[in-house]
Amino acid sequence: MAYEREGGDDNKIKFLKSRAREDFATAYKFSAPTDKQGKFMNYNRFHKFEKRGMHFQLFEEIFSKFSLPENPLICVTPVVDGEILSSE
């Protein structure tokens, strides 16, 4: 899902997290990133990319499909077998 919101990043992230369960039903689905052997990337590996600011590279296909601006604010919600794994 994509939204345009006013306000600071913290409020925007809070908004995105609050929408995760509702948005999941109508969201476009993309496969999880894979490594060179074709294995799905686990969340710990993703977190390492995120800490280095490299996680945007994993979403290039999504960004280009929806013509998003450079450096969009993103909120990743892990979903495993249709179950949302979220702290909110």
> Within 10 Å of residue 16's Cβ, how many Cβ atoms?
19
pLDDT at 1 over 80: no
In this structure, what token pair is assigned to residue 67?
């013509």
Q: Please give the model's pTM, rounded to 2 decimal places.
A: 0.68
Which carries the bigger pLDDT value, residue 12 or residue 53?
12
Q: What is the tens place of the pLDDT at every residue in 35-79? A: 788 888 887 888 888 889 888 888 888 888 887 877 788 888 888
> Within 10 Å of residue 20's Cβ, how many Cβ atoms?
19
pLDDT at site 83:
84
Question: Helix, strand or coil for residue 79?
Answer: strand
**Average pLDDT of span 18-35:** 85
* In the chain, domain spans: 9-84
Looking at the chain, how many residues does it have?
A: 88
pLDDT at site 87:
57
